[in-house]
Amino acid sequence: MTPNTVRGRVVSAHGRHYYVELDSGQVRHCFPKGKRNEACVGDWVSVQLEGDQEGQLVAIEPRRNLLYRSDEWRTKQFAANVDQVLLVVAVKPTFTDDLLGRALAGAWSADIEPVVVLNKVDLIDGLEQARERLKPYRDLGVRILEVSALDASAINQQIMPLLNQKTTLLLGQSAMGKSTLLNTLVPEAQASTQEHSIALDAGKHTTTTTRLYHLPDRSGDVIDSPGVQAFGLAHLSLEDIERGFPEFNAHKANCRFYNCTHRREPNCGVLEAVARGEINPRRHALYERLLEEKASART
């Protein structure tokens, strides 16, 4: 590094300016040098110090991974250099299967381990239905934890051990209780919470920016992100999309064509597995939607 340049990690991002926590523990307000230095929360960066409180972001270290969503209109980065993502859903309001499936595909395509957290299990009405909707993901081997974010003891027993020495991204639809979960994990965060609208069966965004928090004993980091209502994956390659459906792996060897897209080809091992009920047809339908969306984004 050049003189007056130090290392740090982006802990929050606000458009084209960032807050970076230096190795010393100081947090500085930083602006990127050049248009290419588009950082996101979780990035390790080099900062050229300016004055007592600010700095210039001059370089971004190579990322282990990057999770983001995109469609034909915009791209939204979630976080970089994460070890796992906690996908928060709830008994009430109703979570979206499509969005959950997309988030899982995005995590798997980036080689990030997903864990599903079913929140609000104290709401008996709707609990069994939520469990049934999550069964296809449990059958895939996805770890599913059942908690009430208001029960600090259960959170400390079930979730806190998973966060040890890891950087974890919290992701989910609005009103799933993600902010309440964050407040239980990191009381100092004081994230705003809300009650969802029973009439609309949905909620408004309460978190407006992505931010990294340290666990109380600094044994790990948690990155909180705004609630999402859509999860486009148009940026993924065809290979990335397929990697987001690991249940295909056991059947691809039975495909007649080496470049099979698992859609309409004859003697396709994946399609045959769908027909036999060995691959969930809803999962395959999502796979086809993602391919169609990618094709539309190219035109």
In a domain, 230, yes or no: no
User: Which of 150, 65, 80, 79 is closest to 110 using CA atoms?
Assistant: 65
206 pLDDT exceeds 80? no
How many domains is the chain partitioned into structurally? 3
- The predicted pLDDT at position 4 comes to 86
- 247, 142 contact by CB (below 8 A): no
29 pLDDT exceeds 60? yes
Question: If pLDDT is split at 50, 70 and 90, which confidence band does 226 have?
Answer: confident
CA distance 196 to 176: 9
In a domain, 86, yes or no: yes
Q: Which of 52-56, 107-111, 185-189 has the lowest mean pLDDT?
A: 185-189
Same domain, yes or no, for 12 and 87? Answer: no
CA distance 53 to 140: 48
- 19, 27 contact by CB (below 8 A): yes
Q: Is 156 helix (H, G, I), strand (E, B) or coil?
A: helix
- The predicted pLDDT at position 296 comes to 81
- The predicted pLDDT at position 294 comes to 87
- 263, 288 contact by CB (below 8 A): yes
Same domain, yes or no, for 74 and 199? Answer: yes
For residue 78, the domain's CATH number is 3.40.50.300
- The predicted pLDDT at position 54 comes to 94
- The predicted pLDDT at position 103 comes to 93
Same domain, yes or no, for 215 and 248? Answer: no
Contacts by residues 204-207 (CB-CB < 8 Å, ≥ 24 positions apart): 204/174, 204/175, 205/174, 206/174, 206/179, 207/178, 207/179
Average pLDDT over residues 135-163: 93
In a domain, 213, yes or no: yes
15 pLDDT exceeds 90? no
Q: Which of 71-80, 96-105, 115-124, 177-186 has the lowest mean pLDDT?
A: 71-80
- The predicted pLDDT at position 200 comes to 40
Same domain, yes or no, for 31 and 140? Answer: no
Q: At what angle do helices 127-139 and 97-109 cross, to 10 degrees?
A: 30
- The predicted pLDDT at position 218 comes to 81
CA distance 90 to 50: 45
Q: Which domain does 290 fall in, by range?
A: 238-298
For residue 24, the domain's CATH number is 2.40.50.140
Question: If pLDDT is split at 50, 70 and 90, which confidence band does 222 have?
Answer: very high
Give the DSSP letter string of the chain.
--TTEEEEEEEEEETTEEEEEETTS-EEEEEESSTT----TT-EEEEEEETTTEEEEEEEPPPS-EEEEE-SS-EEEEEES-SEEEEEEESSSPPPHHHHHHHHHHHHHTT-EEEEEEE-TT--TTHHHHHHHHHHHHHTT-EEEE--TT-HHHHHHHTGGGGTT-EEEEEE-TTSSHHHHHHHH-GGG-------BTTTTB------S-EEEE-TTSS-EEEE----S---BTTS-HHHHHHT-GGGHHHHTT-SSTT--SSS-TT-HHHHHHHHTSS-HHHHHHHHHHHHHHHHHH-
- The predicted pLDDT at position 37 comes to 67
- The predicted pLDDT at position 72 comes to 59
CA distance 79 to 249: 27
Task: State pTM to two decimals.
Answer: 0.87
Same domain, yes or no, for 130 and 264? Answer: no
199 pLDDT exceeds 70? no
In a domain, 111, yes or no: yes
Same domain, yes or no, for 54 and 75? Answer: no
> Of 39, 60, 81, which one is at a domain's C-terminal end?
60
Same domain, yes or no, for 199 and 279? Answer: no
In a domain, 231, yes or no: no
In a domain, 229, yes or no: no
Average pLDDT over residues 240-250: 94
Q: Which of 38-42, 71-75, 261-265 has the lowest mean pLDDT?
A: 71-75
289 pLDDT exceeds 90? yes
Same domain, yes or no, for 250 and 194? Answer: no
Same domain, yes or no, for 213 and 249? Answer: no
Task: Give 69 or 142, the one with higher predicted confidence.
Answer: 142
Same domain, yes or no, for 172 and 34? Answer: no
In a domain, 232, yes or no: no
Task: Give 56 or 37, the one with higher predicted confidence.
Answer: 56
Task: Give 154 or 288, the one with higher predicted confidence.
Answer: 288
Same domain, yes or no, for 215 and 291? Answer: no
Same domain, yes or no, for 87 and 17? Answer: no
Question: If pLDDT is split at 50, 70 and 90, which confidence band does 158 have?
Answer: very high
Per-residue pLDDT tens digits for 252-286 = 999 999 999 999 999 999 999 999 999 999 999 99
- The predicted pLDDT at position 205 comes to 40
Q: Which of 141-155, 198-212, 247-261 has the lowest mean pLDDT?
A: 198-212
Mean pLDDT of the chain: 88
Q: Is 189 helix (H, G, I), strand (E, B) or coil?
A: helix
In a domain, 205, yes or no: yes
